[in-house]
Structure 1
Amino acid sequence: MVWDGNADAPPTARIVALAPSMHPGEKRVAETIAADLASAVERTAQDVADAAGVGRATVVRTAQTLGYDGYPQLRVAIAGEVALEASSGDMLADGTLLGGMRASFERFANRLGHTLSGVTEDALQTLVHALDTAPRVFVVANGLSSPLGLDLVLRLTAAGRSAEQLSDPLAQRIAARQLGASSVCLIVSGSGANAQTLSVAHAAKKSGATVIAVTSFARSAIAKQADAVLIVPPVNDSFQDELLHTSRAALMLVTEALVDALIARRGERGHEARTAVLEELADTLRE
């Protein structure tokens, strides 16, 4: 039996209704999820499979039995249910909007030290070298990461490193398929799970290009697919927070610093490019 009730029904309501009629393996998966919803949000399908003592395919089937396309969609629904159950909380202690903003800034500041905790020297050297020497750099960023892609392209261009970006997903795939060996497809994806972005990465790899990812989660799909990865842990505490708050602040800081590292590596070329930009900026200013 597959869920055919209200599309707005939360995962736990679906589990309670369907668990008695599920196959034994699916029932174990459902019970594992229901026993600790908060942990389920943070787990991958394989993690849940291991916890329930079943195969990954059983986790996917369970999600589909519950009325979702797959486990990622179930995971998002669980995050929403957990958030609704939690206290509304971001209007913190003093109950004011300003107090909430201060608390948000404090949370960011407290986690800022984690921003570079997943970045290794080898990964950074590989990425900067590739950006410096590649004949073409194609930047891909979709969804909530798309503004970071545009910012990165502008900064790379200002550093004397020409880069390309397209907004249409099909156009991205076509361009990626034409990159060829020695070119770089630089992907910025907070979640590392955007389906459109993953398809572009696949097309780029087919062309022989080097795929480099800047993402927040080490076990994400894009991290597994890329040739080199820069892991930037999110300023939020968990995958659930990533889904609900979707901050890209840490990624923005790292990509900005990445361009500074490229300029430093390029030496005189980098400084000449920056000087040229300053001259153009000066021409746009008026008293």
Structure 2
Amino acid sequence: MTQRPQLPQAGGVLAGIRAMLPVLKPSERRVAEAVLSRPGWAIEGSAQDLAAAADVSRATVVRTAQRLGYSGLPQLRVLLARDVGRAGSESRPEGAGVSRLPAGPTRTVLDFCSSVVESLQALTTLLDADDVDHAVTVLAGAQRILVGGHGVSAPVAAEAAMRLSAIGHPAEAPQDALDQEIKARLLSQADACLLISGTGATRSTVAVAQSARAAGASIVALTGFHGSPLSKIADVTLTAGFGGDSLQEELRAPLRIPQAVLVNALVQAVADSDPARALAARDRVLEVVGDAFTDQPDEIGTG
């Protein structure tokens, strides 16, 4: 049974609905997508209006609201109205900024930047304080940390391992899927496994989690959705969310940016948990970095 999510913070209703899409039944998903596509209309519409729009029964509309974590449709509508009104009061004046630009490369770049800002705002509303504290405690107390991620999550995993090591918490992020699974199985109860997956359903990443679980290691998962297969194995899951409304949009949405930001934020929190250890490690890292540079211009290639 999927655990009901906590009520979202201000501004987090739509992000929370998006994060729940993969675990909803098809009929429930149609209701959720109707709300996402027309939030203003959903606030004013009745349960029967939503039912007609999603081609489901009124009971399905009520059940969907409850699956999303609300006591019923009235509570969902009230909190959605709060968020829609809040977004309107914080938006830029009509005709300002991006909206005045013609279609073209500049508009595309600025539109993408705007979507990144929105995805980061969604991230802050999806994070649960207790889950963040738990994740930081696990990572800070681990003897060693295995970081796993496949496909477009692999670069985020590599950065996480590098930054954790740089603050004195030994971490590695093998690139080969089988190597990740083997090293996960060789972890101990004193170790931790940090897994990064947009969907939380990648077969190879779930296999690494299962191996880490069999080894007795603690598991921290970073995903884009609630209720994923990975989150059911992990000790704690942090949901980053993203700007799209479906799994099909994952590759073109800026999902990895909020994940990368979250990784760096976690590393900072781990460093703050033991400042002396982090400072000593950074001093040694800077010694290595300093040795990597040369003051001799003639040693630098000109080709």
Give the TM interval when normalised to the shorter protein. 0.5 to 0.7
Matched, 1:238 2:245: yes
1:48 paired to 2:29:
no
SS at match of 2:219: strand
How do 1:102-251 and structure 2 match up within 5 A? 102-234=110-242, 236-239=243-246, 240-245=248-253, 247-251=255-259
Q: How far has the Cα of 1:254 moved from its partner?
A: 0.9
Q: Does the 8 Å contact 2:116/2:254 carry over to 1?
A: no
Q: Report whether the alignment pairs 1:265 with 2:273.
A: yes
In structure 2, the CA distance between the partners of 1:157 and 1:47, relative to structure 1 (3 Å rule), is same
Q: In 2 relative to 1, CA 208–283 (structure 1 residues): closer, same or farther, beyond 3 Å?
A: same
Match of 1:76 in 2: none
Unaligned residue ranges in structure 2 (runs of 5+): 1-16, 31-55, 58-99, 296-303
Q: Percent identity?
A: 28
Q: Is the 8 A contact 2:127 2:239 kept in 1?
A: yes
CA shift, 1:111, in A, is 3.5
Q: Which amino acid aligns with 2:136?
A: V
Using the alignment, how far apart are the partners of 2:121 and 2:21 within structure 1?
24
Task: Give the SS at the match of 1:138.
Answer: strand
SS for the counterpart of 2:180 is helix
Q: Residue 4 of structure 1 corresponds to which residue in structure 2?
A: none
Taking structure 1 as the reference length, the TM-score comes to 0.66
- Determine if contact 1:156/1:163 at 8 Å carries over to the other structure: yes
Task: Give the deviation of 1:43 after TM superposition.
Answer: 4.3
Partners in 2 of 1:233 and 1:245 — Cα distance? 10
Letter in 2 for 1:238: D
Cα distance 1:44–1:123, how it changes in 2: closer, same or farther (>3 A)? closer
Runs (4 or more) in structure 1 with deviation over 4 Å come to 49-53
User: What is the CA distance between 1:47 and its match in structure 2?
Assistant: 0.9
- Counterpart of 1:147, as a letter, is P
After superposition, the Cα gap between the structure-2 partners of 1:133 and 1:241, relative to the gap in structure 1 and judged at 3 Å, is: same
**Alpha carbons of 1:46 and 1:123: their partners in 2 closer, same or farther (altered >3 Å)?**
closer
Query: Which one scores higher on RCO, CA 8 angstroms, separation ≥ 6?
Result: 2
Write the distance in 2 (CA, Å) between the matches of 1:203 and 1:248. Answer: 25
Post-superposition offset of 1:93: 5.9
1:256 and 2:264 equivalent?
Answer: yes
3-state DSSP class of the match of 1:229?
strand
Cα distance in 2 for residues equivalent to 1:251 and 1:172: 20
1:125-171 deviations in whole A, cap 9, x for unaligned?
22122112212211111111000111111111111110122222222
SS of residue in 1 equivalent to 2:237: strand
C-alpha distance in structure 2 between counterparts of 1:207 and 1:111, whole Å: 35
Query: Which residue does 1:12 correspond to in 2?
Result: none
Please, which runs of 5 or more residues in structure 1 have no aligned partner? Answer: 1-38, 54-91
Indicate the SS of the match to 1:285. coil
**Cα separation, 1, equivalents of 2:212 and 2:102:** 51
